[in-house]
Amino acid sequence: MFKEMFSVKRILYYVFICCVSFTALVLILSVLNYGINHSSSVNYFYIMQYFSVCFLISLVMFFTDKLTENSSKLVNMITHIADITFWVFGLGGFVYNWFPLTALGFGIAFGVLIGVYILTCVVMYLFDKKWVDDVNKIIMKQRKVRQDGKKDN
């Protein structure tokens, strides 16, 4: 179980989730910052905070996904959103002070959180679909080679 849980493929999958969610977060916040403040400046300190939270979320998802692997997609989605909400509101809101601790601040943060989650899910779906298509092509080629070999005999 330990070997399966910490396989390179599984670890890389969650590293990819971290990178995709970080990119989506920075893009969404950049657009919002430019739209609200008409500013294109980037605070590198916040960028490091964003990455640390995305990393922690991916790390927690790595473990909670193993706990909920036999559950429905809805349970997995709710678990993911709970993981994300905990870190965004806990670390991002209370420690890093990314947003004001008001109903509006929590609402905007939750909206951004859901936007990042949806974008990450879409990218991961496309990545998984591409991978499955590539595996299916390899299987079809192997079947064709076997069938051609049987016809020659």
Q: What is the pLDDT of residues 125-137, one digit of tens each?
A: 998 888 888 888 8
The per-residue pLDDT for 103 is 94
Q: What is the 8-class DSSP label of residue 38?
A: -
State the Rg of the chain over Cα. 20
The answer, yes or no, to whether residue 144 has pLDDT greater than 70, is: yes
Average pLDDT, stretch 48-75?
92
Residue 74: the pLDDT is 92
- Which residues, in sequence order, are CB contacts of 54 under 8 Å at separation 6+? 18, 21, 22, 25
pLDDT in tens, 10-33: 889 999 999 999 999 999 998 888
Is the pLDDT reported for residue 113 higher than 60?
yes
Asked if the model's pLDDT at residue 106 lies above 60, the reply is yes
**For residue 41, pLDDT beyond 80:** no
What are the domain boundaries of the chain? 2-152
Average pLDDT score over residue span 71-84: 92
Closest CA to 84 of 105, 111, 102, 104: 111
Across the chain, mean pLDDT equals: 88
- Is the pLDDT at 91 greater than 80, yes or no? yes
